[in-house]
């Protein structure tokens, strides 16, 4: 997989990460989806290679006026992450949002008549919010089914503060890499506008949301960054699950150490640790 070459540079960088997600056990069968809001540099590279663009406009179930004109590289509905390298132009496609954000047009890929993921409404809602909240920094959204993380939604209350604090207190990297914490969305039917709307509320506050009993949905600046964030969360979740299974922690990383970690890494911090601040107020620290 290292050394995978593709004429479209965005595909060359996304396909190996997609396949790696399957190797990690996060994307069984057709589970999960990934989308990338392409920068001008990638769009130029794509448009130079495309000979014919499909003329049809396809209506979006949920209009996205703030994304009008944007290009997205996205996995297809029903496609397997496992096939990302061998069947690249079936697994992926590129679309442009048209018609004031009401429709999309296929630009490349989706070979054999495919279309964007069933979670496209939530991906676009996520991109619209996270593009604004991150001032354009975040470009890639990954939804996958990391088992240890999902198990926590069966063992812990469905509460954003409790989940964020549990992970932060397990491993020092956690507060450093996700000071915004993880926001919990209750169990909702996948692939619906309802899950998109519930996710939108939480994505205003964090790059990371939990779809309870289902998976994770994460926004970051690149395929590599989004992978790394899920990898970190999944490792902390595995440790937390083992701690719970062993009867609970005898001691954990303290609030004070979480504050010291946050302050010491201010130079790389992308957002405020709101949940930590609330917790500090509660304990009068």
Q: How far apart are CA 179 and CA 101, in angstroms?
A: 32
Instruction: Report the partner that residue 181 touches, choosing among ligand 2HA, Zn ion, none (CB closer than 5 to 8 A by kind).
Output: none
Q: Where are the beta strands (DSSP E) in 76-214?
A: 92-98, 103-109, 140-144, 182-185, 208-211
Q: How far apart are CA 156 and CA 37, in angstroms?
A: 34
Instruction: Report the partner that residue 30 touches, choosing among Zn ion, ligand 2HA, none (CB closer than 5 to 8 A by kind).
Output: ligand 2HA
- Phi–psi pair at 54, nearest 5 degrees: -55, 130
Site residues for Zn ion, window 208-227 (CB under 5 A)?
Answer: 215
Residue 31 CB, shortest distance to Zn ion, in Å, is 5
Residue 181 vs 215, nearer CB to Zn ion: 215
- Say whether residue 118 binds ligand 2HA (CB under 6 A): yes
Helix, strand or coil for residue 50?
Answer: coil
- Say whether residue 146 binds Zn ion (CB under 5 A): no
- Say whether residue 126 binds Zn ion (CB under 5 A): no
- Say whether residue 119 binds ligand 2HA (CB under 6 A): yes
Joined tokens for residue 48: 């130079």
Exposure class string for 92-113: b at 16+ Cβ within 10 A, else e: bbbbbbbeebebbbbbbbbeee
Distance, C-alpha 159 to centroid of its chain: 19
Residue 13 vs 30, nearer CB to ligand 2HA: 30
Among the listed residues 146, 140, 164, the one whose alpha carbon sits nearest the alpha carbon of residue 219: 140
- Say whether residue 114 binds ligand 2HA (CB under 6 A): no
Residue 77 vs 105, nearer CB to ligand 2HA: 77
Residues with active-site annotation: 119
Residue 128 CB, shortest distance to ligand 2HA, in Å, is 19
Residue 278 CB, shortest distance to ligand 2HA, in Å, is 30
Instruction: Give the one residue of 8, 16, 26, 32 binding ligand 2HA; rule: CB under 6 A.
Output: 32
Neighbours of 87 (CB within 10 A): 16
Instruction: Give the one residue of 13, 17, 18, 30 binding ligand 2HA; rule: CB under 6 A.
Output: 30
- Say whether residue 128 binds ligand 2HA (CB under 6 A): no
Residue 196 vs 276, nearer CB to ligand 2HA: 196
- Say whether residue 101 binds Zn ion (CB under 5 A): no
Q: Tokens 């397990």 appear where?
A: 170
Q: How far apart are CA 232 and CA 21, in angstroms?
A: 13
Residue closest to Zn ion (Cβ) = 215
Site residues for ligand 2HA, window 157-196 (CB under 6 A)?
Answer: 190-191
DSSP sequence for 220-243: ESSHHHHHHHHHHHHHHHHHHHHH
Residue 90 vs 279, nearer CB to ligand 2HA: 90
Helix, strand or coil for residue 248?
Answer: coil
Binding site for ligand 2HA (CB under 6 A): 30-33, 118-119, 190-191
Q: Kindly list the residues in this chain that would bind Zn ion in the complex (CB under 5 A).
A: 215
């Amino acid at each position: 997989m290292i050394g995978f070459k593709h004429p479209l540079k965005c595909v060359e960088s996304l396909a190996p990460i997609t396949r790696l997600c399957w190797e990690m056990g996060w994307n069984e069968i057709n589970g999960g989806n990934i989308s990338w809001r392409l920068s001008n540099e990638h769009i130029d590279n794509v448009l130079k290679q495309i000979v014919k663009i499909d003329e049809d406009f396809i209506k979006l179930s949920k209009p996205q006026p703030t994304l009008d004109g944007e290009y997205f590289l996205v996995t297809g509905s029903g496609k397997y992450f496992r096939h990302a390298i061998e069947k690249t132009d079936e697994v992926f496609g590129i679309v442009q949002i048209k018609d004031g954000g009401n429709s999309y047009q296929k630009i490349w890929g989706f070979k054999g008549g495919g279309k964007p993921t069933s979670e496209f409404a939530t991906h676009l809602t996520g991109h619209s919010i996270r593009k604004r909240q991150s001032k354009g920094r975040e470009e890639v959204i990954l939804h996958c089914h990391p088992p240890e993380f999902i198990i926590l939604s069966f063992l812990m209350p469905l509460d954003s503060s409790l989940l964020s604090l549990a992970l932060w207190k397990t491993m020092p990297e956690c507060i450093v890499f996700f000071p915004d914490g993880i926001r919990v969305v209750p169990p909702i039917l996948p692939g619906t506008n309802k899950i998109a709307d519930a996710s939108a509320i939480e994505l205003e506050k964090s790059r990371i949301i939990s779809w309870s009993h289902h998976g994770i949905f994460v926004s970051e600046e690149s395929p590599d960054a989004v992978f790394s964030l899920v990898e970190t969360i999944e490792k902390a979740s595995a440790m937390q699950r083992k701690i719970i299974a062993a009867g609970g922690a005898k001691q954990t990383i303290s609030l004070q150490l979480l504050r010291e970690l946050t302050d010491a890494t201010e130079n790389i911090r992308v957002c405020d640790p709101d949940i930590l601040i609330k917790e500090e107020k509660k304990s009068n620290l």
